Amino acid sequence: MTLLYLNSDQMGSGNPELGRKLLKIFLEKLAASDTNVDVVGCVNGGVLLTTEGSKVIESIRTLQEKGARIDTCGTCLDHLNLRDKLLIGEIGTMDQTVQVMAKADQIIRV
């Protein structure tokens, strides 16, 4: 199983604007590729990718259409007051995160 672990709305550290641009391009390329992703796990700032205002929702939607399960951290959504703004996937728990990470053959973290 392959997990795409997104814990930020940016790729890398440093310039936030550049980081968001890089992540957008990465997700577009990943969604257009033959790379198989089984689960997309969004935690912390990564929940901004699956909620209202996301600039990458189409890429996330494409990954879902290709078979990926989209899980967004419920604790994170609650902390950021975004639970009612979720656009795609399911609200996940930390128990699920532990299980998916333990079972994953490959974890892609950007």
Whole-number pLDDT of residue 83:
97
Whole-number pLDDT of residue 88:
98
Contact 69, 89 (CB under 8 A): yes
Whole-number pLDDT of residue 105:
97
Measured distance between the N- and C-terminal CA atoms of the chain, rounded to whole angstroms: 17
The pTM assigned to this predicted structure is 0.94
> What is the share, in percent, of the chain residues with pLDDT greater than 70?
100
What six digits make up the tokens of 97?
Answer: 């995160």
Averaged over 46-75, what is the pLDDT?
98
As a whole number of angstroms, the distance between CA 104 and CA 110 comes to 16
pLDDT tens readout for residues 33-56: 999 999 999 999 999 999 999 999
Instruction: Write down the number of H helices and E strands in the chain.
Output: 4, 5
Hey, what domains does the chain have and what are their CATH numbers? Answer: 2-109 (3.40.1260.10)
Beta bridge partners of 108: 4
